[in-house]
Structures are given as structure tokens and as C-alpha cells.
Structure 1
Amino acid sequence: MFSLIVGLFLFLGIHSISIIAEDFRNSMAAKSEKGWKAIYSLISVVGIVFIAKGYAALRFEPVVLYVVPYWLKHLTYLLMLPAMILFVAPYLPGKIKQATKHPQLIAVKLWALSHLLVNGMLADVILFGAFLIWAGVDRISISKRKPRVAVRLKADGVNDVIAIILGVVLTGVFVLYLHQLLIGMPLIF
């Protein structure tokens, strides 16, 4: 469990710098944006490695907190489709991004919630619960922060179509192949 907690602390911690220390984040980025992004990325990757190792280790010693009905699996599949579309939408600005404002945070919430619906082990509740709470706190925090200017693609309706196609393809690839490859859990039995 220690590795999972350390990984969550590192990954969500670095992703929370703007929530708890926005001035620090801005000063680091002002000194060297590439340097800040390199440190941010390195800490994120180390966090992911710890999360993966800790989560895998906890799955070998399962602690059941709750059991869910089988049919919720289908709801999870259904929720993951918009999650994947919303996950790519910020990179392809259009009406989806405009309507949702922070589509990637909504995607994280849908991902975490949908996985909590079908996974009742302690490791699952810690992992997905942490991401769900973090996304909620970050969304509240964003509304209180000054928006950052970012160079992005021009908003276009074609981007929505591309985001939807990419989201559908990503969902299909995850269901059929990547989830088993990356997580070790096949989704199609």
C-alpha cells in the first residue's frame, strides 16, 4: 500500500501545485518553462510507476469493501465512451470544450466514478477515489484561479468530429486490447 500512496502523493501532488501553490508554480514556469515541464513530467512518471507497482501489489492481497451487481459493468463501458472523448477534447477545441470548459477533469471524474462502480477492492477505492476527489477539488480551484493563456488550435466544429472519432477509437482499443495489456485485466471475456 505504501507504493500506491507514494505514487498518488507524487502524481496528484505535482498536479495539485496550481491548487495549493499557484504563485510557486508560476514563478517556476517563469524562470524556465521547459525546466518546469521537465520536472513536472519526471515527477508525474515516477508517480505513475509507484501507482502501478503499489496497485498491482495490493491486488495480490485483496480486501473487499463492497460487491457490485454485474450489470454495472455495462454502465462503466457506457461512461468510458464520453470520458475518452472528453479526454482528447482540450487538444481539439470546439463546441465540446466550449460547453464543458474543463473536459479533461470531467473525463477523470467519469473514469474514476465508472471504475468505482465495478471495483470494490481497497486498492480500487484508494486509487479511483483519490482521482475522483482530486478532480473535484481541482475543478473548484480552477474557477478561483486566473486563466492561463495557452497557444492552442483555433476552435472549430471539425475538431469536435475528430475528438469524437478519436474517443470512440480509443474506447474500442482499450476495451479490446490496451486494458488487458496495460492493466492485466481483460474486458472482453
Structure 2
Amino acid sequence: MRRRQRGVRGLLGAVLLAGTVAGCGSGAAPGGGGGASDDGGVVSVGAQGSGCALPMTFEAEKRWTRKSVMPTYQPSKPWPFSVVCQIDAGGGAKDTPQLTVYLADRPLDGGPTDMMDDFRGAGMSNHGEYESEEQVSQVNVGFSSAVEVTYKLSPPDDQKPWKVTLLLVLTPKGPMVLEVQGPGNQGPALKAYQRAKSTLQQVPS
């Protein structure tokens, strides 16, 4: 297992975000939210009125719950991203992770790989200490440059390791990140992730 300068942002972030989402959520939009298009049980997420306003749109199944989250923009906070949307594809099961969407809340330097390092907390002293089997891919999605990262996270408290899947894509409003991570059955969230990745499009200006 690699023990280089990589932080446990994924591990600790899951705990911190749980409180953020609980305190800042602006309500869930189960299937058929306003502004969604009906195409065989599929809705478009991202446009105004779709349950989550984002700089890019993507498809989701109607039955999946969409919850927007009010970003807490704090110029002094060290981590330059805020969670803005969550997709629950697991029917609310407690042991099923969600697809989480983040936006950068300040300008970032460099390309997608540099911005992904910012997302993952590359400046932390223990960055990557509990990570292994990392794979990084340069991809194009929605006519935009993107980077996809997967790795295994092995918590220090004897929990069963889990996979982390990240996609950072450049948008007119800065980098946007899709994330699936956490213990339990990741199948539903990964299905939502793959659907979003394959259907990402810029929101018309």
C-alpha cells in the first residue's frame, strides 16, 4: 500500500459533509422534479428547477432522489470545494453511498489534474497515507477536459476498505467534481455516476 503524502480527505470529508448536508440541504426532489424531461423514466439534472442547479446537466433516473445543498462559501476555509448536490440512487438505504457533486468556490490554477489534487487535499501532510491501487485517466466528457481517479481507501480503524471514484470536469463556472465513496453497496451510486458521466452537457447560456 502506498504511504505517500496523501490525506484522508475522503475518509474525514465523509464525516464532515454529513453535517454540512444535514444543515444546509434545501430539500429533496424525488422523481419528476420541476424542469425535468420525461424520457422513459429519465430526468435531466443541472438546469434551474431540476432539483440541483449546476453549470452542466446530466441524466438521472426519475426514481432517484435529488437533493440540492446550499454551498457555504467561506473565503478562509482551506478546502476550495463545496458540495452542491446529492443523488440517492439506493432508495434511501443507510448502507448505500450517494453520488455527490461539488463545485469549486474559488478560482484554481492549473489544469484538471492540478485541480483534482486540490480536491483531494494534496497539501495535507498525510495525503494518500491510506490509499492504494490508484488509477488516473485523462478523459473528455461533455466536450470538456476531465480527469478520472479511482483508488482504494483503507481506514485506520479496521473498517473494510472501500473504493473511491472521482471525476473532475471543467465548466464555465470552474471545476465540478462527481464523487462516489464510502462503505456499503456502491452499485446504485456507481450506476448514477456512469450515467452522469456519459451524459454531461454544458447548460445553455
Which category of TM-score, normalised to the shorter sequence, fits these structures?
Answer: under 0.3
Tell me which protein shows more helix as a share of its residues.
1
TM-score, normalisation: structure 1:
0.26
Larger-Rg structure: 1
